[in-house]
């Protein structure tokens, strides 16, 4: 359901282990419950279509059918730049 790009995976692995665990648990929770209501749609932020808020961190996503490609991941102050 969620796949990392090489860029976003590199950024993810640079985070502290606690942050990685929190993000990983949230993605698993969404996948298991199939509750996509936590994903907010983005406007005028092509090619991204959705964002996911996890504490102070944001995942920028692109939807391809049933799959979501994680384009970027970062702190909320930096990720939209």
* Alpha-carbon gap, residue 57 to 59, rounded angstroms: 7
Residue 59 lies in a domain: yes
Residue 36 lies in a domain: yes
pLDDT tens column, 14-49? 999 999 999 999 999 999 998 888 999 999 988 999
Question: Average pLDDT, stretch 37-62?
Answer: 93
Q: What is the pTM of this model?
A: 0.88
Residue 56 lies in a domain: yes
Q: What are phi and psi of 42, to 5 degrees?
A: -105, 145
Treating both helix axes as pointing N-terminal to C-terminal, what angle do 6-14 and 17-33 enclose, rounded to 10 degrees? Answer: 130
Q: What are 46's two structure tokens?
A: 């092509």
Identify the domain containing residue 14 by its residue range. 2-75
Residue 19 lies in a domain: yes
Residue 80 lies in a domain: no
Residue 81 lies in a domain: no
Question: Average pLDDT, stretch 51-68?
Answer: 93
- Picking from 39, 36, 76, the residue whose alpha carbon sits closest to that of residue 58 is 76
Work out how many domains the chain is built from and give that number: 1
Residue 23 lies in a domain: yes
């Amino acid at each position: 359901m969620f796949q990392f790009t090489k860029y976003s995976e590199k950024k993810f692995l640079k985070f502290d282990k606690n942050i990685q665990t929190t993000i990983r648990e949230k993605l698993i929770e969404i996948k298991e419950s199939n509750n996509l209501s936590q994903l907010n749609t983005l406007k005028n932020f092509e090619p991204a279509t959705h964002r996911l808020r996890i504490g102070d961190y944001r995942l920028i996503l692109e939807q391809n059918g049933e799959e979501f490609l994680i384009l970027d991941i970062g702190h909320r102050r930096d990720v939209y730049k």
